[in-house]
Structure 1
Amino acid sequence: MDHAAQSSATVAVAWEQREWKQSVERPASRRQQLAARGSYRAAVPAAIADLDVPVAASLQAEAEDAVREIARFDAEVTAIGRRRADSSDAGGVPAAVAPLAAVLLRTESASSSQIEGVTAGARALALAAIDAQVDPNAQLVTANVAAMQRAIDQADRISVTALLAAHRELLAGHDHAAPGELREQQVWIGGSAPSPHGASFVPPHHERVSAAMEDLVAFVGRVDLPVLIQVAVAHAQFETIHPFNDGNGRIGRTLVHAMLRHAGVTQPLTVPVSAGLLTDTDDYFDALTAYRQGVVEPIVRRFVDASFRAIDNGRHLVDDLEAVHDAWGERLPSRRGSAARRLLPHLLSQPAITIGHVEQVTGVALSAAQRAVEQLESAGVVRRIGTGRRNRIWLAPDVIDALDAFAERVGRRG
């Protein structure tokens, strides 16, 4: 495609008429059956592999500023880990950064899930991580953590196969979602009828999904576009294609982080961009609608604003957790290098523990694990919950409070 053709291209969807066959397995009233008769309009996504993305110079400059701030935040947290490694027995920088990276990944996964109406608070997520509580929403968020990590781990080559693997992680065991497979049925957004008639948006017919995804991946692989603009367009195009039966929003936001990692903007961290989007979901969904109508700038604007909000809130959370860690260190009398002290960074990312969990993460014997937990409890670092003698659980309330405060700032509730 030559430059003139690129410049005239648009991201606006086209439309096509499709015949609808009412499922006999789906109950419907006579009124709904009548409304579901006849053909319906399904979107035909624009091809974007060679798109020249039209964005005003002022917005492009802000997007570049946002990318620099994301990279700066990533470097700041890495430096915190390096200082901690220099002053402890923690080892190298990656190990020292790991707790903060893990907690940011979990908060981002929780915010991304919340956009889809799946809410789980910090306590429920901490308990779910050690299989101590069966909370369906917490389990879904925990699966989203694994899906996001899978996508990031495969960021060196973003492909349809990699996105299918992330989807499999997200919805394993949920057969209705066909985990790890592109959809083979029509889906739609909005509307209460048991058919796409009257829906607010009808994504492309499933026969078009595979080709549309290959086109998207080609766009993602380009290196001639400003990173955050490319990320915003790729995300909006993914949501327009809606390639899965379920989980599209969450996987679409894992794509964001895979692209940021692929571009080298982030290294150990997952910046909580979804937390920034969660602050105003109406604007976010309106921007997706505008994109489908051919207007790119609103979704770019949402990602620029969300990035700055994410960095501000992420810094606040990291500062809170560092203050908690420092206060713990002053209160804990055990010697440097002890199991109790080695648990402190781990508690930042996993504030619920059992004796067995402590054995596993520290590698110490049962008696040493029990002694470490006793020392942490005596110092007020952890508090036992429940009164049973078996399967005892301890929580780090200071961390739960910091995570709940993060959620409060973005409007997420657990």
Structure 2
Amino acid sequence: MGVLLRLPEAPELVERRWAGAPHAMGGRRARRSFTYQAFVPRAIADLDPRLQASLVEVVSAADQACRELNQDPPTLGNLEALARQLLRAESVASSRIEGLVVSHRKLARAFVESGQRGTASEVAANVRAAERAIELASSEDQLTLDALVEIHRILFTGSPADHLAGVIREEQNWIGGRQPNPSDAEFIPPPEEYVEPALEDLLAFMNRDDLPPTLQAAITHAQFETIHPFLDGNGRVGRTLIHVVLRRRGVAPHYVPPVSLVLAGRAGGYVKGLTAYREGQEEAWYGTFADAVEASARKAREFAGGVRNLQEQWFEQAGRPRPQARVRKLIAALPAHPVLDVRTAREITGAASQETARQAVNRLVEAGVLRQIGPRKKRNRLWECVGLFDLLDSFERELAPAGRAPRRTKEQ
């Protein structure tokens, strides 16, 4: 990578020369040499942001909304089931921002059916990367560069872009534009020699404990997107870092607020906010982000209540099974496993055999809690719980009524 450089105290543009490629496709403009300017962000490891009183209130309200979401444990189900479903909702929305659109039903099937390819498998990888990020935030005192690389590796391993998995870029990249060079790019991140020092500076900032958590998460996300340290996947990894900060700082010990759902529904404000951050109008971004955190946390709490009500309904339909009954164990786990097969049912219930697990599943089918989907063959049968996907769809519509993601710009 060559000589690594220190970040400046204030953002700056640096000039670099793009070497022409005489045989490149795309006409004269694609082949020529030219000078371009790349953006180098300021160092933030010791940043001391000063906020107006009105913004302090907005940030505090977002922190409090996260705490309230996490102070209300489920009465019938379990923490893991609800936490996993909220994380999946977050990952679906984060992927949608990048143009990867999949329904919750298809995503749930991707976790059960082996050999899945395409968009569902890519979004499932996003879920796994987010799960690992939150595990790291829960178990490690300090987030490291190796941990950050691991999150990216999980996102891309086994995908068509497997060769990019966990690889910090060693070349100039850019966002947007039609040319195979940055001549008409919408944004040019720092040159490659700044990337590792910028990441180390960012990690030092993330590992602090003296800032309001929502503010720290807002700066972390915007700074990561500005650095753009990978050739692809920066948006998805950057949004997992929001939850790393909120989990590490203790305001989201159980449930992540699905911030990406709000950001996807407010696409224009999201992009403008990140641009404002780079242009020195940080408070505009802080306000946009804090509003998204508060809204997602408030609605997530309502969603949690809806899941509890749905589980209570399933419980009644199943005849109020006793606490240790396999059927009750299935009901408690359904929000985390809304599509399941016999193998999954056996793991959940601890049944001694697949036939015993199948009996528990059949009882829930008879009660109207589960319905069979997919192939009719006994070996490959799948079931989905009744009502949860409708609840998820309603939850998404309320948080992101526009249903539109930002126009995806090309990452180079």
TM alignment of 1:12-411, pairs within 5 A: 13-22=11-20, 27-34=24-31, 36-76=32-72, 78=73, 80=74, 83-84=75-76, 96-131=78-113, 134-155=116-137, 156-174=141-159, 175=161, 178-333=164-319, 335-336=321-322, 337-364=324-351, 365-389=353-377, 390-409=379-398, 410-411=400-401
Structure 2 spans left out of the alignment, 5+ residues: 1-7, 406-412
Task: Summarize deviations over 1:284-308 as a string: whole Å, max 9, x none.
Answer: 1111111111111121111111012
Amino acid at match of 2:19: K
SS at match of 1:340: helix
CA contact (8 A) 2:84 2:336 kept: yes
Question: C-alpha separation between the residues in 1 aligned to 2:166 and 2:242?
Answer: 19
Question: C-alpha separation between the residues in 1 aligned to 2:183 and 2:62?
Answer: 40
TM-score of the pair, normalised by structure 2: 0.89
The residue aligned with 1:91 is: none
Question: C-alpha separation between the residues in 2 aligned to 1:242 and 1:106?
Answer: 24
Question: C-alpha separation between the residues in 1 aligned to 2:365 and 2:404?
Answer: 28
The residue aligned with 1:89 is: none
Structure 1 spans left out of the alignment, 5+ residues: 1-7, 86-95
Bigger shift: residues 122-131 or 219-228: 219-228
Question: C-alpha separation between the residues in 2 aligned to 1:347 and 1:114?
Answer: 24
CA contact (8 A) 2:76 2:332 kept: no
Question: C-alpha separation between the residues in 2 aligned to 1:132 and 1:406?
Answer: 28
SS at match of 1:197: helix
Question: C-alpha separation between the residues in 1 aligned to 2:115 and 2:370?
Answer: 18
- Return the offset for 1:316: 2.5
Bigger shift: residues 321-330 or 148-157: 148-157
Bigger shift: residues 220-229 or 373-382: 220-229
TM-score of the pair, normalised by structure 1: 0.89
- Return the offset for 1:31: 3.7
- Return the offset for 1:312: 2.5
SS at match of 2:210: coil
SS at match of 2:334: helix
CA contact (8 A) 1:9 1:51 kept: no
CA contact (8 A) 1:69 1:311 kept: yes
Identity rate, percent: 38
- Return the offset for 1:248: 0.5
CA 24–312 in structure 1, closer or farther in 2 if over 3 Å, else same: farther
